[in-house]
């Protein structure tokens, strides 16, 4: 989480590359549009959320559930700039979504890493506890 221009996407791309090299499963990267096409290694599955009409927390949860149901080998899902794909109505909605991802990831053996363009100071502990410091 950080303001626009702080290098979040660059870090995410490096983490995707590392996951592809080190993990023994399928790596997924979700972005809104076709921005990272040439940055993400071909071994990772790059998904453009705009092609699937993902525009709400509920649709994102359903989409992630469908990915996991269709592929038991997913080890890591990266989401670039969550607020460009979906914009939670409130901080509580975002906290619920992050908590859902944590529970779902633990149940399915999937690690989730995402970027959010926002100032961490604007959020309380229910959201900031998920920040990677």
Average pLDDT over residues 4-22: 93
Q: What is the pTM of this model?
A: 0.93
Q: pLDDT tens across 23-48, in order?
A: 999 999 999 998 898 899 999 999 99
Q: Where are the domains of the chain?
A: 8-118
Q: How far apart are CA 76 and CA 44, in angstroms?
A: 10
Predicted local distance difference test score (pLDDT) of residue 2: 87
**CA 59 – CA 88 distance, rounded (Å):** 12
End-to-end Cα spacing for the chain: 10
CATH code for residues 8-118: 3.40.50.300
């Amino acid at each position: 989480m950080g303001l626009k221009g702080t290098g979040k996407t660059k870090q995410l791309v490096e983490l995707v590359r590392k996951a592809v090299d080190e993990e023994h499963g399928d790596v997924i990267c979700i972005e809104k549009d076709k921005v990272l096409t040439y940055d993400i290694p071909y071994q990772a599955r790059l998904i453009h959320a705009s092609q699937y009409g993902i525009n709400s927390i509920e649709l994102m949860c359903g989409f992630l559930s469908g990915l996991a149901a269709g592929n038991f080998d997913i080890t890591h899902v990266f989401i670039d700039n969550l607020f460009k794909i979906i914009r939670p109505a409130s901080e509580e909605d975002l906290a619920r979504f992050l908590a859902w991802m944590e529970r779902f990831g633990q149940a399915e053996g999937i690690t989730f890493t995402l970027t959010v363009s926002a100032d961490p100071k604007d959020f309380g502990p229910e959201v900031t506890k998920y920040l990677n410091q």
